[in-house]
Amino acid sequence: MKKKLIAFSLILTLMLSLVGCGKSQSSLDFKIGLVTGTVSQGEEEFRAGEDLVKKYGSAIKHVTYPDKFTQEQETTIAQITSLASDPEVKAIVVVQAVPGTAAAIDKIKEKRDDILFIAGVPHEDPELICSRADIVLETDNLKRGETIIKLAKEMGAKNFVHYSFPRHMSYELLAQRRDIFKKVCDEVGINFIELDAPDPMGDAGIPGAQQFILEDVPRQVAKYGKDTAFFSTNCAMQEPLIKSVLNEKAIFPEQCCPSPYHAYPGALGIEIPQEKAGDVNYMLEQINKKVVDGGAGGRFATWKVPANMATVKAAVEYAIAYGKGEVGKFDKDRMIKALKNAAGNDVQVSELEGNPNFLMFVAGSKIFK
């Protein structure tokens, strides 16, 4: 009798465990379409998509746009529109909203006007994408002209070196941010130094531009001292910039594209195990250790969360609330709440002038010390 009771107890335990495992704790009775780049073109948003699929299972329909998205817009349009063929899909989130996104939304709306569209990191004209998507999310790069300088000041900077080149300075957004850098430096008492670097698209190519950074940072530190913060507008320059600034024990407040994953792993020799892919806290811990071991604690920083990863997670959170009938297609306060949940309570949100559904944000920073 005792053996039978034990056997029955084991069977009951097994049945209960199977019931507990059989249903996702976050299962939904509708679906959300999610379109991101691939690992090679947009790892941060792709990993965020993977995390959401793990959390919600088949309720998240995650597809990718092609790596050569500029030349393959028809493929992008086909990927986005395919999601709307499923009647259970209540919202579609696209991050990054590459060329073809607006056209895909137009095509879907011909048959379905019930779907919510959220476009993150838009590549198309703001006016165009705002008139198609219900909500548009983007990093506030002009606001960063203020926040980066104030962060550099907090980290002890007396000088701020801004590396760029004529091609980048011909872009209105980058030129405007440079002017804001200058203005805020004057306000907080930092010496602003504007320097030309070789254009990676020029004759010297990326290797020439990177070599210039490696050689020039020591020259500038010798001239202005270690309490000099460095910034570059170009992605290819970030790794050599981090390496050289660390060697000189100078200050590095933020990359051109703020994220723990941007240039830090390559510059600091951080290898990411497969099981830690997309684990932001792990990456922050590894960077912190390398910076402190390198004798530069308190002099390096980045955003606490990758911008595009936060965009994906916030957009999907809002989309789920829409699917549940808790919000309409645009509720600014609820969208800001979702951004805070994804990027931290210190996130700052503003709207693009004349386009209230185009929300721009700046996340809080992590100083490694």
Structure tokens given for 346: 């210190």
Q: Nearest-CA neighbor of 357 among 338, 325, 335, 326? A: 335
Helix (H) or strand (E) holding 246: helix 238-248
3-state secondary structure (DSSP) of residue 93: strand
Sheet strands side by side (includes 159-164)? 191-196, 159-164, 228-232
Whole-number pLDDT of residue 19: 39
21's CB contacts (< 8 A; 6+ apart) are: none
What backbone torsions phi and psi does residue 360 show, to the nearest 5 degrees? Answer: -120, 145
Whole-number pLDDT of residue 70: 84
pLDDT string in tens for the chain (369-residue length): 444 433 434 333 333 334 344 344 457 999 999 999 998 878 889 999 999 999 999 999 999 999 989 899 999 999 999 999 999 999 999 999 999 999 999 999 999 999 999 999 999 999 999 999 999 999 999 999 999 999 999 999 999 999 999 999 998 889 999 999 999 999 999 999 999 999 998 998 999 999 999 999 999 999 999 999 999 999 899 999 999 999 999 999 999 989 999 999 999 999 999 899 889 999 999 999 999 999 999 999 999 999 999 999 999 999 999 999 999 999 999 999 999 999 999 999 999 999 999 999 999 999 999
Residues of the chain with CATH 3.40.50.11390: 144-303
The CATH number of the structural domain formed by 144-303 is 3.40.50.11390
Whole-number pLDDT of residue 295: 97
User: 205-224 vs 238-248: helix axis angle to the nearest 10?
Assistant: 30
Residues of the chain with CATH 3.40.50.11400: 31-140+308-368
Give the span between the Cα atoms of 237 and 178, in whole angstroms: 17
Whole-number pLDDT of residue 179: 98
Q: What is the DSSP string of 255-269?
A: -SS--TTSSHHHHHT
The CATH number of the structural domain formed by 31-140+308-368 is 3.40.50.11400
Yes or no: say if 213 and 194 are a contact pair by the CB < 8 Å rule: no
Q: Which residue has the tokens 């992605």?
A: 235
Residue 261: C-alpha distances to residues 138, 144, 326 (Å): 18, 18, 34
